[in-house]
Structure 1
Amino acid sequence: MIKVSAPGKLYIAGEYAVVEPGHPAILVAIDQFITVSLEKTEKVGSITSKQYGNLPITWKRENDRLVLDKRENPFHYILAAIEVTEKFVKESGKPLSFYHLSVDSELDSSSGKKYGLGSSAAVTVATVKALLRYYGLEHTSSVAVFKLAALAHLSVKSNGSCGDIAASVYGGWLAFSTFDREWVLEKQEQASVTELLKMDWPHLNIEPMTPPEDLRLVIGWTGSPASTSHLVDEVTSNRSHDEQSYAVFLEASKACVSEMIQAFKEGDIPVIQQKIRENRQLLKKMSQRTGVVIETPALSNLCELAEQYCGAAKSSGAGGGDCGIVLFNTKDGILSLITEWEKNDITNLPLHVYRKDEAGV
C-alpha cells in the first residue's frame, strides 16, 4: 500500500492577476491534506473517494489507455492526473499495471462544505506523486511533479493559474507566476511528456519564501463556498467591456505583489501589511468595474473586524465567499479578533503553514 498526501493552499495576494503569465501572487500551503492510497490489483482497477459516498468506479485498459465503465464520474482531475503521469511512466520504459486508488480529504468540512483550500489541486498532486512512487519514479523533481499536475489541469480545461498546484507541491510560503499556457499547449502537440517536463516554461516562476519570524497568519471562513472557476470566467467575460481598466489593474497588482515579495525578503512586516491592504483595494476596484462580487458583505465584515485589532486583512482566492486572511505582527489582537469573529458567525480555521521537508516525491 502506497500513501501520499498533498496539502491545501490559501492565496495571500495577487488573485485574478495571477492567471496572466508573469503576474506574481503569494500563496501558502496549509496543514490540511488530501491523501491518495494505491494498492496493486489484477486485471481491473478502481477509484473510490469518501467524499463521494465510497462508491467505487472500476476501470480496465484498452491499448494501455485507462477506460472507465461509467461516463459520468466525479473524478476528472484524478483521471487527468493518471493519464498524464502514466504517459510519463511509459516513456520511462515502465510497464503499466492495475491498482485500486482511494482518496480521503481533510479539505472540506464534515458536512461536505468546501473551505476554498484547493482540493482539486491537492488531489491532482497527490495522485501524481502516488503514481510516481508506485511505478518507482519517486526521485522525480518537484518542478516535474508541478508540470505533470499542471498538464492534468490543462487537459480538463481548468482556467486557474496553477498556483494552488505549486503550493501543494512545494509547501510553505511561495511567490508564484504562471506559465504561458498557449505555449505549453502548442509544445504538447509536438513533444513527449518527458521532453515537455525538461523544457523551461515561459514566465513560470516558483520561489519558496521564508516569512518574517513575527508574522502571524489567521484564517477566517464565512461559511459561503464559492466556485473559483465560475468567478474567474465571469471576470474574464466582463473585463472585455473595459480592457483598459483591467490592464491598469494587472500592472498595479504586479507592482503591489512584487513589493510585497521584496518585503518578505527584507523581513518588513509593516510593508507586507500595507501591501495586503493595497491589494484588497485593487481587488475591490476591479470587482466594481467588472460587476463580479469578490468581497461579499461577510468577507468585508471579516476584514473590518481584523483591522480593528491591528491586522491587515483581505479576501483569499477568488472571493465570493470562502476565506479571508489576516496578517499580524506577532500575536497582538489575535484572540480578541477570534472572539469578535465568533459573535459575527465567522469561523476561525485553526490551520497552520505546512512546510515540506522531504526532497523529491
Structure 2
Amino acid sequence: MTRQRTVVRRAPGKLFVAGEYAVVEPGNPAILVAVDRYVTVTVTGPAEGGVEISSDLGPRGERRQWRDGRLSPYGTDDEQDARAELAHVTSAIETVARLLAERGFPAPVFNVSVESGLHDNGTKYGLGSSGAVTVATVAAVAAFCGLTLSDEERFRLALLATAEIDPKGSGGDLAASTWGGWIAYRAPDRAAVLALARRRGAGEALRAPWPGFDVRRLPVPESLSLEVGWTGTPASTAALVSDLHRRPWRGTAAHQRFIRTTTDCVRTAIDALERGDGRRLLEQIRRARRELALLDDEVALGVFTPRLTALCEAAEAVGGAAKPSGAGGGDCGIALLDAGAPRDIARLHERWASAGVVPLPVRPAAEGNEG
C-alpha cells in the first residue's frame, strides 16, 4: 500500500427534491440533486504520532491521537466534548482506519484540512455540509492510504461513519454527494448495517447485501429551471427527524398514509423525470409540498416557517412549483419553473427578495465526489 504525500478530494452539497421524512424508513424512495457548492478535504502527511485536523467548519483545529481505534484529543479525557465539533470528520477517518486495520495496516497519521463552500460566514445554507464533508473525507483518506474503492464502497463507508453518529439519518445526502446529478435513492436499515460492521467488520459490510438500499441516476429535467432560495435561518435536520421519531404519530394510520402517499408521489415524479414530462413533475412537487404541510399540521413539527411558505407562494404566483428542501424549519426551499421563461424567474427572485428569501446562485452538479 502506497501512501501519497498530498491528496485533495471534494464532494458537492445536495438538495432534496421529494421524499423527505418518508426516506428515513428503509426502502422508501426519495429524489435528490447534487449542487455545485463543495466541501474540499486535503490530506497531507505524514504527521507525527496522530491526526491533525483544521477546518473552517469549526473555530479551531484539533490534534488527535489514536487510542483503541478511536481518535482522542491530546491532553484531556473528555473525548465526547472534543469529538463533537468535528464529529463527521473524525468518524469518517476512524471508519477508513477500521478497514485498514482489517487488512493488516496500522492506523494512519496525517494532517487534514477542510474547506466548505456550503456556509455563509459560518452559517450553513442547508445544502448537506455534514454529508459532503463525510464523503470527501472518506475519499481523501482512502486515497491517501492507497485504498482503491468504488463509488458504492465509498458511499458505504460514509454511511457507516454517519450511522455511528446518528443512525436515523437516511444517507440521501451521502448518495447525492457520491454520485452527483439527479438521483433516486432508497435507504438501507442503518442500524442493521452498523451492527453488521461491528459484528463482522467493515470489509464484510462493504461486500454484503444491504436490503432496501438502491441508488440510480435520473435524467436532468431540461425543460425546467431549478431555483433555490435560502431563508437565512439554519435548521437541524437531525433534531427535526429525532423529534418526529419521538412523537406518538409514528405507527399510526396517519403515519402509514403519509408514507404510502409520499412514496407514490416520489415514484410518479421519478417516472415523470424519466419520460421528460415537466408538467407532471411540477404536479408532483406541488403534491409533495401538500404532504409535508399535512404532516406539519398533524404533528406540529415546524417544517414550514413564514419564509418557506412565502417562498412556495411566490413560485406558484409565477407559474412554478415549490416546496421546502429537506426537513424544513429553515434552510432552503426549491422551485421549478419553465426554463424558457426568464422573466418569470426574475419575478420569482424579486418576490423572494421582498419576503426575505435569498436566491442562491447554485446549479445541479453533474458529478459527485472525486475518487
Q: Secondary structure at the match of 1:240?
A: coil
1:241 deviates by: 6.9
Q: Secondary structure at the match of 1:182?
A: helix
Aligned to 1:32: 37
Q: Say whether the 8 Å CA contact 2:69–2:97 is kept in structure 1.
A: no
Bigger mean CA deviation after superposition, 268-277 or 320-329: 320-329
- Structure 1: which 5+ runs fail to align? none
For 1:134, give the aligned amino acid: F
| Alignment pair present for 1:82 and 2:93 | yes
Deviations 1:138-186 (A, max 9, x none): x301111111000011111242101001011111111011002232133
For 2:237, give the aligned amino acid: T
Deviations 1:34-83 (A, max 9, x none): 11111112324311112323x32112234665332253231111111111
User: In the aligned structure 2, how far is the partner of 1:9 from the partner of 1:119?
Assistant: 8
For 1:233, give the aligned amino acid: S
Q: Secondary structure at the match of 2:290?
A: helix
Corresponding residue to 1:48 among 42, 46, 54: 54
| Alignment pair present for 1:91 and 2:95 | no
Q: Say whether the 8 Å CA contact 1:57–1:68 is kept in structure 2.
A: yes
Change (3 A) 1:64 1:237: closer
User: In the aligned structure 2, how far is the partner of 1:63 from the partner of 1:336?
Assistant: 58
| Alignment pair present for 1:127 and 2:134 | no
Aligned to 1:187: 196
Name the TM-score, length of structure 2 as normaliser: 0.92
Deviations 1:75-106 (A, max 9, x none): 11111111111111222344433111111111
Aligned to 1:235: 244
Q: Say whether the 8 Å CA contact 1:223–1:322 is kept in structure 2.
A: yes
Change (3 A) 1:239 1:260: farther
Q: Say whether the 8 Å CA contact 1:158–1:229 is kept in structure 2.
A: no
Change (3 A) 1:324 1:62: closer
Corresponding residue to 1:173 among 161, 176, 182: 182
1:2 deviates by: 1.4
Bigger mean CA deviation after superposition, 39-48 or 265-274: 39-48
- Structure 2: which 5+ runs fail to align? 1-5
Identical columns (%): 38
Q: Secondary structure at the match of 1:124?
A: helix
Q: Secondary structure at the match of 2:146?
A: coil
Aligned to 2:358: 347
User: In the aligned structure 2, how far is the partner of 1:314 from the partner of 1:33?
Assistant: 23
Corresponding residue to 1:103 among 95, 114, 117: 114
Root-mean-square deviation (CA, aligned residues, Å) is 1.7
Report matched runs for 1:297-308 at 5 Å. Answer: 297-308=306-317
**Count of aligned residue pairs for this structure pair:** 357
For 1:173, give the aligned amino acid: W
Q: Secondary structure at the match of 1:175?
A: strand
Aligned to 1:12: 17
Aligned to 1:157: 166
Name the TM-score, length of structure 1 as normaliser: 0.95
